[in-house]
Structure 1
Amino acid sequence: MQLIDIGANLTHDSFDHDRVAVMQRARDAGVARMIVTGASREHSPKALALAQAHPGVLFATAGVHPHHAVEYTDECDAQMRALHAHAEVVAVGECGLDYFRDFSPRPAQRRAFERQLQIAVDTGKPLFLHQRDAHADFMAMMKNFDGQLGPAVVHCFTGTREELFDYLDYDWHIGITGWLCDERRGQHLREIVKNIPANRLMVETDAPYLLPRTLKPMPKDRRNEPAFLPHIVEELARDRGEDTASTAAASTATAEAFFRLPETAAYT
């Protein structure tokens, strides 16, 4: 398998002591390329720096997660636009709405989301989206930009069947994580992932978060990492009634097209 992890938070401080080893384990597991998630003013530049240090292997997104929406000032907007001038930054986000945590006030979340949607319009880059417990407002805001946006992926999809079909009706892409492997919260996903067309389906770990609960053996530190992506793909393939190689190849091809990546990785 030559997988692409479309969402890895490799700038997280839990990787500071062994980031190179984490990347090597990913390579050994068949994870050829990774999109490093930029989700704040602090971490989006770090994501770009990582991508620049590992050309052809790591790519970056640049954006501000709704948890950090209060930091989205005019200065922040200018910073994000400067980051998007770099070719290594392949998507706008992580951006969206999160009414589950409400770490930032909802009006601030909507303002930050709207400004990043405008960046996507202006740059033509794809969107890397977050939505939790905010479906109605999320859809309303996306519809305000209908016809202006390029491709979009709802990353780390955990929603309902109805939400899934709303996204697919707009030809948006879906990112599946190890949430699928959580018997407490993700059981419903096993029933609906078969409805995602192969050319709309991508895979991700969201490392270091969302360690798959079915992984054996479990790492002692409970940290998720990109090397565990094949395990998620195996479970996903089983739930879709496909062989693992087919699911892997399709998700890789979809990610290459979505992020406009070169077809081969160049490890450094």
Structure 2
Amino acid sequence: MLVKESYSTISDRISPLLPDESSSWDQIYKIMPHATGLFLPVLIIWLIADIVSGESTRGTIKLLLVRPVSRVKILLGKWATSLTVTALLTFCFFSSLLATNLLLYGINGAEQPRFVNVDFSFTSVSEAAEQETIILPIPHFSEALVIPEWQYSILSMLFALLAMMTIASITFLSSTLFKSPMVSAGTALAAVIAGYILVQKMEDGRWLFWLFSVHLNPGNNWSGQLSANLKSDLSLGTGVTVLSVWTGISLLTAIYYFRKKDILNA
């Protein structure tokens, strides 16, 4: 079994934590949903919301359009700038998060095992006393892997970078659609906050798996925690696919609108 083979490679290096002992990796795991669901997206929106709309407001966008460069190339250049800024911000944030927690808690627990690639099936159970049906997640470990906690944390941060690229692309679309930077930022921010609240409150994700906000912490997809919480099989592949689709749709919509928009006479 993959679980047995994976576990055997790290079992001889594990130093168990005490029951009340905290580790850097536990703290990172607790912070990640809030960092990727709200804090980082707000920073990204603040930095990117005026990348197109700001130039439209100032009128400098017209100077770009009179040059012998296609609108698509201009927009792709600005989108690439948005992704670069997002990547740098995300890298700096996660580097600071990791360094701070290592200073506070040390490296203890780095080799603790973490299950990933856990599949789930779901069964309905009726509770006679409550007269309601509940859905129980049943984990399956036939294809699961066991990796050290430090590796899971680092890879989760890399996966989160993809999610932040999606936030950047949605914000970029908003900046393209609206001339006012405030409206652009407000629209993107409303989408992020609404999604964050929805994810915190919902208990059944079967009909909402297509929302980008559900997958902003792909590490939870990978570990199976998201599937267990939302009673739906939301694998890492599902999360990456949903985020990629949102990124692609945002970019294509921005390009289509920017090509058709009469900016020079606005």
Which TM bucket (shorter chain)? under 0.3
TM-score by length of 1: 0.22
**TM-score, with length taken from structure 2:** 0.22
**Higher RCO (Cα < 8 Å, 6 or more apart):** 2
**In terms of Rg, which structure is larger?**
2
> Quick check: which one's helix share is greater?
2
Write 1 or 2 for the structure with the bigger share of strand: 1
